Amino acid sequence: MEERFTLLAGIQRYVLAVAVMLVVSVGGLFEWACRLFHAAWEVHFMQFLLFLLVAHLGIGVYLGMAVRNRLVVWHNMATLDGVAGRKVAEAVLWPVAYPVLFLKLAIARHL
């Protein structure tokens, strides 16, 4: 069985994920800007956007597997459709979904 995370450890991993996404975004944008005046800059921009999309989804899946599963225990009455839908939504919308999750967990655990 996996070890459980504290809320602080989950928040730290989320902040690290946001930092990684910012570094990837700024680094990729800088590289694209350097190539802006070369031929086929549109191709480089599309590659940059694809890379950002893959990085965004990869971080969302990581947070779902490494953080969410260790912070929240799904109730055995939860439906498969509800759990799967929530996990997919959080993988796609992780920059917004995880602060909301942390706030709800903090309220439930400490109030």
Q: How many domains does the chain contain in total?
A: 1
Residue 87 within any structural domain of the chain:
yes
31: in domain: yes
Residue 2 falls within a domain, yes or no?
no
**What's the whole-model pTM score?**
0.81
Is 15 within the bounds of a domain? yes
Residue 17 pLDDT grade (very low, low, confident, very high; cuts 50, 70, 90): very high
Whether the CB-CB separation of 2 and 73 falls below 8 Å is answered with no
Q: Does the residue 66 lie in any domain?
A: yes
Hey, what long-range contacts does 103-108 have (CB within 8 A, 24 or more apart)?
105/7, 105/10, 105/71, 105/72, 106/7
Handedness of CA 102, 105, 110, 111 (dihedral sign): positive
Cα(55)–Cα(29) distance, integer angstroms: 14
pLDDT beyond 70 at 21: yes
pLDDT tens-place string over residues 90-102: 899 999 999 999 9
**In a domain? residue 1:** no
**Containing structural domain, residue 38:** 7-110
- Whether 86 is covered by a domain: the verdict is yes
pLDDT in tens, 32-87: 677 666 666 677 778 888 888 999 999 999 998 888 888 877 666 678 888 888 88
